[in-house]
């Protein structure tokens, strides 16, 4: 018999609590994921977890801060998108709850790629998601921002909105993702990211992903993460 939605969510909450962080995981189906996410992943032909996904997603689902390092092409995007979607789903996030997750990406091109993956794997969810990368008038973006649950943004544009968009609220934010943090810093966005973080609630989950672990990334991690889980995947020889 099909369980009612409420009951399914409380089952899922329990499964995530009981999830063994040491268990070795092979497939997305080994994780306690909602039906809309599981079906979105399989419709996108994602079945086997990459190494970084197998090691990071469980911590992400449990609300832990993460410092994740793995080379380009290793699947870092889903390592944070799956927890972002699932954690909002288990909190029964709706349009009325406002912005739940903010994902920062160094370039427009990378932000677009994240947004496309979010649209694919999140296709069976009802969250509103926006891409804020400039190129449109600030005004046009401002009108949409207040209604978004998940935003994918470049740092400069995000700070512009935080400073100038009066109705844009971040009080309820649950999760911050700093993707490709090494590139964000290489591109000179250190101060911009610091200023964005100043606008956000201190109580939140932060997931920082990077292709390389540089000193600057370490500094940003110290500033933005609380007791993070370090997940670093090295290439085997
Ligand atoms: P990174 O951010 O680490 O550079 P991406 O998240 O952009 O890597 O993923 C690289 C490519 O691998 C993308 O085309 C993505 O669709 C694909 N990919 C990611 N995870 C999986 C997976 N579990 N199974 C198959 N392909 C995957
Ligand atoms: Mg990436």
- Does ligand 1 come within 6 angstroms of the Cβ of 56? no
- Range of 203's domain? 5-232
- Does ligand 1 come within 6 angstroms of the Cβ of 149? no
The yes-or-no verdict on residue 17 having pLDDT over 60 is yes
The yes-or-no verdict on residue 20 having pLDDT over 90 is yes
Q: Kind of pairing, strands 101-104 and 175-178? A: parallel
Report whether 17 contacts 58 (CB < 8 A).
Answer: no
For residue 48, list its beta bridge partners: 27
pLDDT band at 237 (very low <50, low <70, confident <90, very high): very low
Of all protein residues, whose CA lies closest to atom 27 belonging to ligand 1? Answer: 75
- Does ligand 1 come within 6 angstroms of the Cβ of 75? yes
79 Cα–ligand 1 center, Å = 9
Q: Residue 129 falls within a domain, yes or no? A: yes
Number of domains in the chain: 1
The yes-or-no verdict on residue 2 having pLDDT over 70 is no
Q: Residue 44 falls within a domain, yes or no? A: yes
Structure confidence by residue, pLDDT tens digits, 106-138: 999 999 999 999 999 999 999 999 999 988 888
Q: Can you spell out the DSSP letters for 10-70? A: HHHHHHHHH--TTS---BGGGS---HHHHHHHHHTT--BPPHHHHHHHHHHHTT--EEEE-
Q: Would you give the distance in Å from CA 45 to the centre of its chain?
A: 20
84 Cα–ligand 2 center, Å = 15
pTM of the entire predicted model: 0.96
- Does ligand 1 come within 6 angstroms of the Cβ of 51? no
Within the chain, where are the H helices? 5-18, 35-43, 51-61, 76-90, 108-121, 138-145, 155-164, 181-186, 190-199, 215-224
Q: Would you give the distance in Å from CA 20 to the centre of its chain?
A: 21
Of all protein residues, whose CA lies closest to atom 5 belonging to ligand 1? Answer: 75
Q: Residue 29 falls within a domain, yes or no? A: yes
Least distant ligand from the CA of 54:
1
Taking residues 167-174, what's their average pLDDT?
91
85 Cα–ligand 1 center, Å = 17
ipTM for the whole predicted complex goes beyond 0.85:
yes
Taking the C-alpha atoms of residue 210 and residue 184, their distance in angstroms, rounded to an integer, is: 9
For residue 217, give the CATH number of its domain.
Answer: 3.40.50.300
CA triple 80-120-49, angle to 5 deg: 50
Q: Residue 207 falls within a domain, yes or no? A: yes
Q: Residue 237 falls within a domain, yes or no? A: no
- Residue 49 CA: nearest ligand 1 atom is 23
């Amino acid at each position: 018999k099909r369980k009612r939605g409420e009951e399914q969510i409380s089952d899922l909450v329990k499964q995530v609590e009981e999830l063994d962080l040491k268990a070795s995981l092979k497939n997305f189906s080994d994780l306690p994921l909602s039906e809309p996410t599981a079906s979105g992943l399989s419709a996108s032909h994602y079945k086997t977890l990459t190494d970084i996904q197998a090691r990071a997603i469980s911590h992400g689902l449990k609300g832990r801060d993460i410092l994740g390092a793995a080379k380009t092409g290793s699947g870092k995007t889903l390592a944070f998108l799956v927890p972002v979607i699932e954690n909002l789903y288990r909190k029964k996030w709706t349009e009325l709850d406002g912005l739940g997750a903010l994902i920062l990406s160094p370039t427009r091109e990378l932000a677009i790629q994240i947004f496309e993956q979010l649209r694919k794997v999140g296709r069976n969810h009802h969250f509103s998601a926006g891409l804020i990368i400039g190129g449109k008038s600030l005004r046009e973006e401002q009108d949409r921002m207040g209604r978004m649950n998940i935003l994918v943004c470049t740092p400069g544009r995000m700070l512009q909105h935080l400073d100038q968009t009066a109705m844009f609220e971040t009080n309820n934010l649950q999760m911050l993702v700093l993707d490709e943090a090494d590139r964000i810093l290489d591109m000179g966005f250190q101060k911009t990211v610091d200023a964005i973080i100043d606008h956000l609630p201190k109580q939140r989950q932060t997931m920082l992903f990077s292709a390389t672990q540089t000193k600057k990334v370490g500094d940003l991690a110290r500033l933005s993460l609380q007791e993070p889980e370090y997940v670093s995947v090295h290439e085997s020889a």
